[in-house]
C-alpha cells in the first residue's frame, strides 16, 4: 500500500541510454539473446535484466536513428526550397535581361539595315565631323556597350544556371544515397530490437510468465512499452499495457515485472520458494475500494504507486519487519530496482510495501 504522507505519486520513466551509433548499426550485443534462445533454463536472473537493458538500448538506438533520418529529410527539404528559390530568382533575372536585350537588338538591327552614309563617316575619320555625326557615333558606341553588357550578363547567368543545376543534381543524388543508407540502418536496428524483445519474451515464458494463445500478455511484457504505460493516468493503465507476474493474478508495468522476475529468481535460490505477493497493480476502482475500507492505510485514489504498476505488497515473511526475508530483500532488492521506501518504515509502518525505480537497477 502507499502512504498518504510520503509516497511519491508521479510515474517514473525508463532510464534512457546513450545516443545511437548510426555509423555502426551492428553495435548491439548478440551473444546474450542467442544463448537465452537456445537454453532451457536461465543460468542467472542477471540474464533477464541484461536482456531488458539490451531491449531498452536497442529501442533508444532505433529512436535516435529515426530522428536522424527525419532530420536529414527536413534538411534536404529546406535545401531543396532554397535551391528552388535561387532558380526562380535566376529565371526572373533572365526574363528581365531578355526585356533589356530586345530594344538593343532592335537598334542594332536598324543600324545594320540603315547604316551611316559613307559621307557621314568620312568627315569623322578625317577629324572634320560635325555634331550630328558625333551624336550618331556616340549612339553606336552606346549600342555596342549595352549589347556587350547584355552578352556579359547572359554569360554570368548561364554559368550560374549551370552551377545551380549541378548543385541540384548533386544534392538530390547525395540525399537519395544518404537516405537509403540511413533507412537500411533503421531497418537493421528495428530487426535487432525485435529479436531482443522476442528473446526476452521467450525467457519470461520459460520463467513462468503466462501468456494466452495469441500472446496478448506478451505484448504488455515488452519493456519498450513501459514509458507508454507511464503516460496513462494513475489506475487507468490498460491491461494490454501490463505484464503478468509469475504469481498468478498479479501484474505490473513491463520493466517492473521483468526486474521483479529477476529478483524473484534470486529470492528462490536463497529461500527455496518464490516471493509471496498479495497486491501489485491496482486500478482506480480497487484503489477507491481499499481507501474507503481502510482509511489511513492507503493512498488517496489516483495517487498510489500501485496505480502506476510500480509497487507490490509482499507476504511469505517479508511482511514481518527484520525477518530474514525482509533483511535479504532490503539488502539485495535495489540491485534489481526494488526498494522499501523511507515512509514505509514508520509513516505508516508497512514492511510489506515495496516499490520499483529503474534508476536503481544496477545489476550488470
Question: pLDDT of 37-62, one tens digit each?
Answer: 333 344 466 677 778 778 878 878 88
Percent of the chain past pLDDT 70, that is, above it, reads 67
Q: Which residues contact 138 (CB under 8 A, 6 or more apart)?
A: none
Q: Which residues contact 361 (CB under 8 A, 6 or more apart)?
A: 15, 49, 53, 259, 335, 336, 337
The pLDDT assigned to 106 comes to 60
Residue 309 burial by Cβ neighbours in a 10 Å radius (0-12, 13-18, 19+)? buried
Confidence of residue 9 (pLDDT cuts 50, 70, 90): very low
CA distance 8 to 341: 9
Mean pLDDT over residues 170-186, rounded? Answer: 82
What is the average pLDDT value for the chain, to the nearest integer? Answer: 75
Q: Which residues contact 363 (CB under 8 A, 6 or more apart)?
A: 46, 49, 50, 262, 335, 336
Per the rule left: phi > 0, alpha: psi between -120 and 50, beta: everything else, 206 is: alpha
CA distance 177 to 194: 26
Confidence of residue 306 (pLDDT cuts 50, 70, 90): very high
Q: Who wins on pLDDT, 27 or 150?
A: 150
Percent of the chain past pLDDT 90, that is, above it, reads 28
What the block records as the C-alpha cell of 154 is 547572359
The pLDDT assigned to 280 comes to 97
The pLDDT assigned to 123 comes to 57
The pLDDT assigned to 35 comes to 41
CB hemisphere CA count around 292 (13 angstroms):
5
The pLDDT assigned to 48 comes to 77
Closest alpha carbon to 52 in 73, 31, 32, 79? 32
The pLDDT assigned to 161 comes to 73
Q: What is the pTM of this model?
A: 0.59
Q: Which residue has the cell 537519395?
A: 176
Predicted confidence (pLDDT) at residue 316 exceeds the cutoff of 90: yes
Closest alpha carbon to 195 in 34, 26, 24, 25? 34
Mean pLDDT over residues 89-103, rounded? Answer: 68
Amino acid at each position: 500500500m502507499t502512504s498518504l504522507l510520503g509516497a511519491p505519486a508521479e510515474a517514473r520513466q525508463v532510464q534512457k541510454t546513450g545516443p545511437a551509433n548510426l555509423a555502426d548499426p551492428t553495435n548491439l550485443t548478440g551473444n546474450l539473446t542467442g544463448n537465452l534462445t537456445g537454453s532451457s533454463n536461465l543460468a542467472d536472473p542477471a540474464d533477464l535484466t541484461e536482456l531488458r537493458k539490451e531491449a531498452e538500448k536497442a529501442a533508444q538506438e532505433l529512436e535516435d536513428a529515426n530522428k536522424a533520418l527525419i532530420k536529414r529529410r527536413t534538411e534536404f527539404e529546406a535545401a531543396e526550397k532554397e535551391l528552388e528559390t535561387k532558380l526562380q530568382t535566376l529565371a526572373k533575372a533572365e526574363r528581365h535581361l531578355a526585356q533589356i536585350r530586345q530594344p538593343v537588338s532592335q537598334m542594332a538591327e536598324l543600324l545594320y539595315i540603315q547604316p551611316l552614309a559613307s559621307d557621314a563617316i568620312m568627315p569623322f575619320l578625317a577629324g572634320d565631323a560635325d555634331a550630328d555625326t558625333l551624336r550618331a557615333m556616340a549612339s553606336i558606341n552606346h549600342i555596342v556597350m549595352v549589347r556587350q553588357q547584355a552578352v556579359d550578363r547572359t554569360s554570368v547567368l548561364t554559368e550560374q544556371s549551370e552551377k545551380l543545376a549541378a548543385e541540384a543534381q548533386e544534392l538530390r543524388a547525395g540525399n537519395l544515397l544518404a537516405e537509403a543508407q540511413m533507412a537500411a540502418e533503421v531497418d537493421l536496428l528495428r530487426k535487432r530490437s525485435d529479436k531482443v524483445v522476442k528473446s526476452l519474451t521467450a525467457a519470461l515464458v520459460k520463467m513462468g510468465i503466462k501468456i494466452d494463445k495469441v500472446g496478448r500478455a506478451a505484448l504488455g511484457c515488452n519493456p519498450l512499452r513501459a514509458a507508454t504505460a507511464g503516460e496513462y493516468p494513475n489506475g487507468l493503465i490498460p491491461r494490454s499495457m501490463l505484464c503478468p507476474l509469475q504469481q498468478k493474478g498479479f501484474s505490473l508495468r513491463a520493466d517492473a515485472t521483468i526486474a521483479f522476475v529477476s529478483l524473484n529468481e534470486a529470492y528462490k535460490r536463497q529461500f527455496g520458494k518464490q516471493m509471496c505477493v498479495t497486491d501489485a497493480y491496482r486500478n482506480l476502482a480497487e484503489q477507491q475500494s481499499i481507501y474507503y475500507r481502510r482509511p489511513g492505510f492507503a493512498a488517496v485514489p489516483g495517487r498510489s504507486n500501485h496505480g502506476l504498476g510500480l509497487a507490490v505488497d509482499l507476504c511469505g515473511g517479508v511482511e514481518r519487519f527484520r525477518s530474514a526475508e525482509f533483511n535479504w530483500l532490503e539488502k539485495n532488492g535495489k540491485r534489481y530496482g526494488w526498494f522499501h521506501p523511507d515512509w514505509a518504515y514508520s509513516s505508516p509502518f508497512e514492511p510489506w510495501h515495496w516499490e520499483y525505480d529503474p534508476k536503481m537497477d544496477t545489476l550488470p
